[in-house]
Structure 1
């Protein structure tokens, strides 16, 4: 029975030439695809006014998020089996159709089904694109490209809300999804024309064996440790911003002021671009530990400075910088752990990452108010750093 072997990639076999514009196209597409995930936040009131308030949250957000996370497990092995380009382009085409269909939803029930289909289609992009970058680019360019696409993944949650809200004001929530569908159609066409299949040496095996391999990989001790630590990466990020919004609202800030506070940490997200150079100097394991320590320190400072807005802003920048370093570094660690079945690694990476994001919304239930909840979350980041570092020590023993 074939197994996933954790061996270093050959120097040239996995590197196919990429056409000019491929990386900017993937980064731009990542931003547009992830905006579909966060569109539920600014569109909630518009949809409720049109379709009724009953079950709007479930229709807009919950079904999409669950389908999105589940889709990673479906499409990772598919891209290993059928090729990156085929899954990426066909997935974008399906997402285009689903997004246009969402704009026509006649009820919240129909919206829930269509949003779930949209999330399932959107999940084709991230694991396939990340596996593509791992195969098509040499290590120095690969690290930079993964850093750039990680910036898009992170910033979509904040900057994506601004144009969505503006379009909804002018064209309504249906117009927002319709325009998104047209933009996705253009990106699908560009991907079809520009993206080439990388020249990768993937093992030939039946599709059912690839899914069996995914299960075996997910249950390996190293993978389980990586997953435990990885749950915190985006979970704490979502949790912090949920807690921050509630805290600032209780302090009397307006919705616009709260959005400006959230946006203050946007420049720190560019630290994703530093993950590659840091990994080249320190190695991925130490770079991940650095990210966890930064995130821990930032959250601890936020907890202490909860009532001082300037200090709170500065601490949030430190926290976001740590998360920005972590996202591409964890992608690298999952890819190394799963090689040569990178699609499997990216599938489990994405599933755990966005499962953590879903769990992060429950941070507001933690005890101790804003400061206490951030203190608990800070401790989780520190523990996660230790767990991930321990998982890296297992490299080569499996």
Structure 2
């Protein structure tokens, strides 16, 4: 499915891309050192759903985890936060690790380690043990986002990077919905423990496929202090802060829906499942319009996407008591967020330059996951969904200014 979607979008954009002199020199077919588009993006996308999706599966599982660990449901949210913060740390250290062993090795080794920890999670007897295991799970998962983006920048033909980033980012963005839907369905059919145990063989199979599909790499060039300075440049820091706000808003709004959403979905079940799934078509739409949006500068795409997310969040704040209005707002929010991610990562990769690119993308992954972890806890500081959504609207509006300011410095 992912491969056919890539091929369709690629076909629409091929003539336009190859007509540009800046990319006409790049051959369309894969060459030694250049990864094939469809198989690479399909593999990374599916693995991204499996790996990153584990961050969000505990949002609908909070009642079951609370019962299993003998704690209030609000306390069980710590399992999501532990994963996200450790995920951020894993993202940060993935840069130096990839310099030593290569991106493919780091990605696959961490997925294998994550599979082991995932198998142990249902056996956790207490909140403390569960949080520790979730933190380890997040730590091993942390390398996947930055290393996959860095790999695409390095291995995909330049005129196809934007499409590749959009598809992968949309799939990873979809995990906030897919992870929750999967957890709710699996729990209803098989029990909550199979949310984790059922993922283990998929992670193992995915690691084997990834090792076969991704191209091997030797020791990468370390940017050293100059690479770190480049990654912390004035043109890049605003982008890190923007994804911090964006990812935090994403996790916070869905946690808020779980904790104090509309009365219509308070009982969970099919209404809540439909509300979560309502955002999925927006992610598909983002992939289909990616070739058209690629004609715009990444900074403009990011600013426009943030405006969409802010307006959608305002709509959620004003009409969030109605399930239909909230569903439409979440749809619009995910449409904006799935466009925001690839635009930001493209800007980060381009502005950082070759020497600092891997470090910059690792920092991007760090701030993304730091925001996701903070968002899971942020929702608990509000007693009403409307108040949370208004706060997030303000934060997103401020982030628009950060993107525009960074774009003027380009």
Cα shift readout 1:98-131 (whole Å, capped 9, x = no counterpart): 2223344454433332222111111121111111
**Once the 2 structures are TM-superposed, how far is the Cα of residue 173 of structure 1 from its aligned partner?**
3.8
Cross-structure match for 1:305: 319
Q: How does 1:1-398 map to 2 (within 5 A)?
A: 16-18=34-36, 21-53=39-71, 57=76, 60-197=79-216, 203-204=221-222, 209=224, 212=225, 215-250=228-263, 253-256=266-269, 257-273=271-287, 276-340=290-354, 341-364=356-379, 369-395=384-410
Q: Distance in 1 between matches of 2:289 and 2:367?
A: 20
Note if contact 2:261-2:385 (Cα within 8 Å) is conserved in structure 1.
no
Q: Is residue 94–residue 147 contact of structure 2 (8 Å, CA) maintained in 1?
A: yes
Superimposed CA distance per residue, residues 73-106 of structure 1 (whole angstroms, 9 cap, x where no aligned partner): 0002322443211111212221122222334445
Distance 1:301 1:81, change over 3 A: same
Whether the 8 Å contact between 1:92 and 1:124 is mirrored in structure 2 is: no
Q: Matched residues in 1 for 2:258 and 2:385: separation?
A: 10
| Cα distance in 1 for residues equivalent to 2:406 and 2:133 | 39
Q: CA deviation at 1:171?
A: 4.5
TM-score (norm 1): 0.84
> Where do 5+ consecutive residues of structure 1 fail to align?
1-7
Q: Deviations over 1:273-310 (max 9, x none)?
A: 25742453111011111101111222223333345544
Secondary structure class of the residue paired with 1:314: helix
State the secondary structure of the residue aligned to 1:322.
helix
When residues 276 and 134 of structure 1 are mapped into structure 2, their CA distance, relative to the original with a 3 A threshold, is farther
Q: Distance in 2 between matches of 1:189 and 1:172?
A: 28
How many residues align? The count is: 382
In 1, the alpha carbon distance for the partners of 2:38 and 2:277 equals 32
Residues of 1 paired with 2:61 and 2:326: CA distance? 28
Between the aligned partners of 1:63 and 1:386, the Cα distance in structure 2 is: 30
Deviations 1:291-347 (A, max 9, x none): 011112222233333455444433332222111110111111111122213321221
CA RMSD for the aligned pairs? 3.2
The CA deviation at 1:50 is: 3.6
Give the alignment's TM-score, normalised by structure 2.
0.82
Q: Deviations over 1:53-79 (max 9, x none)?
A: 379626633322211111110002322
**Preserved contact between residue 97 and residue 181 of structure 1 (Cα < 8 Å):** yes
